[in-house]
Structures are given as C-alpha cells and as structure tokens.
Amino acid sequence: MNDTIIEVQGLEHRYGNFTAVDGISFSVKKGEIFSFLGPNGAGKSTAINVLTTLLRLQKGSARIAGFDLATSPGKIRESIGIVFQEVTLDRDMTCWEILEFHGRLYGMPRDERRARIDELLSLVQLETKKDALTKHLSGGMKRRLEIARGLMTRPKVLFLDEPTIGLDPQTRMRMWEYIKQVNREGTTIFLTTHYMDEADLLSDRISIIDHGKIIITGRSWELKNMLGEDLIYLETSDNDAAKDILRDMAGISEIRTKSRGLILVVNEDGTRLLPSIMEHLRTRGVTVTTVNLKKPSMDDVFVHFTGKELRDEGPEKPSVAASRSRRGRK
C-alpha cells in the first residue's frame, strides 16, 4: 500500500449519455513510469483530466499521493505536475516568466522559486533561452519548457498527456531521455500516448485502453509474451488451405488472417519451427511466396487485445463529438 502512489477504483466519466471513461481501476507504484496506451478518443485525456482535478469526479474513487480525489482535490493539485497535450505556453512571455508565474501560482517562496528555475532551465537545456519569448522557441523546446514547468513544484507525480505528439523523431527520442532522467530522479510518471514505441520504450507498465475501458495491464515484455514467443508472417498460394493445414500443428498457438497473408503466433522458438512449417505446407501442395519472422511488437500486442490496428491519426482534438462519432462507427 505504501508504495502505491495512484490508486483508482471504478472511475467513470460521462458527457451527457456518452461514457468516455467506463469504470477503470488501476494502480501506479511510486517511482514508476506508467502509460495509458490507446487510440485517440479512447478516454485517455478524460481520465487524466479527472485525475488532475480539471474535471469533476463523477463516479468511482481515486487516491493520488495519499489524498482522496473526492475530498482533497486541493492537496492533490499541490502534489502533482501536469504537461497538457496541446502546448499551453503564453506566446508573449519569456521562458523565465513562464516558470516564475507557475511557481508563484503554487505559492513557492521567492528564493526557492528562483533557484528551481535555474536548475530546471539547465535540466532541459534552455539556459540560453531564459529571456526568449516562447513564441520564438522550436516545438521541442516548447515541450521541454512545459516539462520544466510541470516539475517546477517538485511534484510527486508528473502527468504527461501525449508528451511527444507532433514532434520529429529525433526530438521525440531526446524527450524520452528527459522523461527517463526525471523519473530516475524520483518522480513518478503517468503518461498517455497513442504511440506504441513510446509506451514500449518508456514505461515500466502499460495499460491498454480502448472505448473507456482498460483491456489489459502489464509490463511490456509480459504483454508481448502473452502473444507467444515469435510471430511468423506468411503469404502463400492458398492462404485458406494453409490455415487449415497449420491449424493443428504443434507450436502454433494462433493463426490470424491478414489481407494478403497469415500471422502465426508461435509459442516456441520461431527460427527452429519455421523450416518444419515450410516443409509441412510444401508436402500439402501450398507454395509459400513470402515469409517473415519477428518478435511481437507493441503493435501486435495492441492488435491482439483490441482486435484492431492503432492508426496514427495525428494530433488529436479531444472533443465529445469526435469521440462520439468514433464510437458510432464501431
């Protein structure tokens, strides 16, 4: 109990009669990086908005940093830092002013505030931009400044809502380094993302969330192991026949049909199983035209548990209407 910093039970949030968050329960341990991985409109932002007190708690309970969300939202506010999904920097304030403003909002004493600002500007390598207006910063710099702002008050938990959305690949990797460094220094991190690689590389544990529900929670390798050891992709002259032939073969735990081929989920070393699969198909008159073997990725995990591909839809505009129509399409 003592090493749990976020404890959520049956959290539910509705907009009118649309249920954005549908009874989720999870816990985050102190010092962890915990991710919500899910498509846009899955309810990630709504959940984060409720946990950070921006939306009123409707149903369920949550304890964050030892405080109850229903009875002490003010205490929770003092204990957390937030980096929002969209850039929320005043274009016409300098980096220093952004941090000074934030420190003052949280009632930090002047000396502590000033020392912290210098410390954070050097952490995110923005010392030279101290007096630059934020409108003159690059996208990556803005994000770093926002992370610095989220850390200003030395929060116990830092909430990051889609921290690398809209950043180029190199900047994203640097952001991950910053996030890891912040975590190593003792801050628990709760992040939401719709990027597989981000959840995979960054988090200690991941909850896959879809349609407002947590589908599964676990460490990245645990989730992948649930899929078996390896994945084999085959394209053959007759996929249906191949499927029938391989259905009862030892070592294959699942066969999934793709548009042009098959994915075999195997529960033993695929490199050793593959020759006998090929042989098996050849003797039954099915020609293999393409073969590929890989370890399960987060994408495969996601497809396996949600039954659909996670499309990268670019910047999300979290609106009730959009989530509704997404929901309606299902």
Partner 1 sequence: MVNTGFTTIYWRDMIRYVRFKTLLISSLVQPALWMAFFGIAMSASFDRLTTTVPTIPGVPAVGYLTFMGAGVIAMTTLFTSLFGGITILFDKNWGLMREIMASPVPREHIIFGIALSGMTKSFIQAVIIMVFGLFLGAQFFNGYTIPETFIAILGILLFVGTFSLGFLFLSAAISVSLESPEGLQGIITLLTMPIFFASNALYPIDAFPEVLQIISRINPLTYLVIGIRYFAVGDDFQSIGVHYTATSGDILVSYAALVIFALIMFSVAWWRFKKAVVT
Residues that bind partner 1 (CB under 8 A): 45, 49, 52-56, 74, 77-78, 82, 84, 86-93, 97, 101-102, 104-107, 149, 318
CA dihedral over 237, 243, 244, 250, signed as positive or negative: positive
**97 or 238: whose CB is closer to partner 1?**
97
Q: Residue 24 Cβ, how far from partner 1 at the closest point, in Å?
A: 18
Q: Cβ 138 to partner 1, closest distance in Å? A: 19
CB of 326 to partner 1, least distance (A): 18
Task: Name the residue with tokens 């950070």.
Answer: 52
In whole angstroms, the minimum distance from the beta carbon of 149 to partner 1 comes to 8
Q: What is the identity of the amino acid at 330?
A: K
* Cα gap 117→111, rounded to integer Å: 10
Minimum gap (Å) between residue 189 Cβ and partner 1: 17
State the minimum distance, in angstroms, from the CB of residue 281 to partner 1.
54
| 5/108 with CB nearer partner 1 | 108
Q: Going along 30-69, which residue ranges are E strands?
A: 33-37, 59-64, 67-68
Q: Report, in angstroms and rounded to the nearest whole number, the Rg of the chain calculated over CA atoms.
A: 23
User: Quick one: angle between helices 110-123 and 169-184, nearest 10?
Assistant: 130
Q: Is the CB of 173 or the CB of 320 nearer to partner 1?
A: 320
Let me know if 280 is exposed, middle or buried by CB neighbors in 10 A (0-12, 13-18, 19+): middle
Amino acid at 304: H
Nearer to partner 1, 144 or 149 (CB): 149
Separation between Cα atoms, residue 84 and residue 143, nearest integer Å:
10
- For partner 1, give the closer residue by CB, 63 or 149: 149
Task: State which residue, 260 or 317, has the beta carbon closest to partner 1.
Answer: 317
Residue 212: alpha-carbon gap to chain centroid? 14
Q: Rounded to the nearest 10 degrees, how much is the dihedral formed by the CA atoms of 219, 221, 224, 229?
A: -150
